[in-house]
Amino acid sequence: MLKSCYRTFFEAGTDEAGRGCLAGPVTAAAIILPEKFNHNTLNDSKQLSEAKRTLLKPILEEEAVSFSVSHVFQEEIDEINILNASFLAMHRAIAQLSPQPEFLIVDGNRFKPYPKIEHQCIIKGDSKYMSIAAASVLAKTYRDAYMARIHEEFPMYNWKKNKGYPTKEHREAIRTYGLTKYHRKSFRQLPEQLSLDI
C-alpha cells in the first residue's frame, strides 16, 4: 500500500519518464497532493496499463494542490547528457509549482539538490509513496501523448506504440530510414554502432 507522506504534508513528489529512449524528450512531473488524498488504483506508472494511467491523469490534475510537467528535448539531452537532463526536467517541474513545497521526495538514488528545498531520494519510490507514483503517472502520460503527436510526422518508427524506446521494430526503422530530428544523437542507436557523427 502506498504511503501518503515521507516527512511532511507539504511535500512534492517528482519522477521522470523516457530516460532510456532513443528519441524524444525526457519528461518529469512534480506534484503536491492533498494531505488525505488516496486512490486505490494509483501505483508506479510502469505497473499500470495505459488505460489506467489515462483514467488517473485527470483525477490527479483535479485533486492536486499543484502539479507541473516539463520536457527536456533531445537537443539539450545531447548537450548535457541524459542524467543531467533528467535532473533539469525535474528542477523545471518543481520551479513551476505554486505554492512551492517544503520538502521533495525523488524517485531513484541520485538527484541534484534543488535550491533552498531539502530532498530525499527513495529507491523504487514510485511504488512506495503516492506523490512519487502520481508524478510518475503524469510524466508518463504527458510524454506518451507527445510521442503520439510526433508519430504522425514519422509514422515509420511507430512511436505511438514504442514511445521511442529501443525496441527491435524501432531499431530496424532506424537502420532503414536513418535518424530524425527527434532522435538523441548522443545515444547508441544501433547495437553495432561504435561512434556517432554529430
In sequence order, what are the beta bridge partners of 129? Answer: 3
- Asked if pLDDT for residue 197 goes beyond 70, the answer is no
DSSP codes, 13-56 = EEEEE-TT-SBS-EEEEEEE--TT---TT---GGGS-HHHHHHH
Mention the CATH class of domain 11-144.
alpha beta
Q: What pLDDT shows up at residue 7?
A: 82
pLDDT digits (tens, 9 = 90+) for 153-165: 999 999 999 999 9
Alpha-carbon distances of 45 from 50, 56, 139, 146, 151, rounded to whole Å: 9, 10, 9, 17, 22
Distance (Å, rounded) from C-alpha 151 to C-alpha 172? 16
- The x, y and z cell numbers of residue 170, run together, are 524501432
Q: What pLDDT shows up at residue 192?
A: 65
Mean pLDDT of 122-138: 95
- The x, y and z cell numbers of residue 18, run together, are 523516457
Q: What pLDDT shows up at residue 193?
A: 55
Q: What pLDDT shows up at residue 1?
A: 76
Report which of residues 20 and 195 the model is more confident about.
20
In sequence order, what are the beta bridge partners of 183? Answer: 23
Mean pLDDT of 172-179: 95
Query: Is the four-CA dihedral 179, 50, 16, 150 of positive or negative sign?
Result: positive
Distance (Å, rounded) from C-alpha 110 to C-alpha 112? 7
Ranges 17-26, 34-43, 129-138, 163-172: which has the least confidence: 34-43
- Asked if pLDDT for residue 17 goes beyond 80, the answer is yes
pTM over 0.85: yes
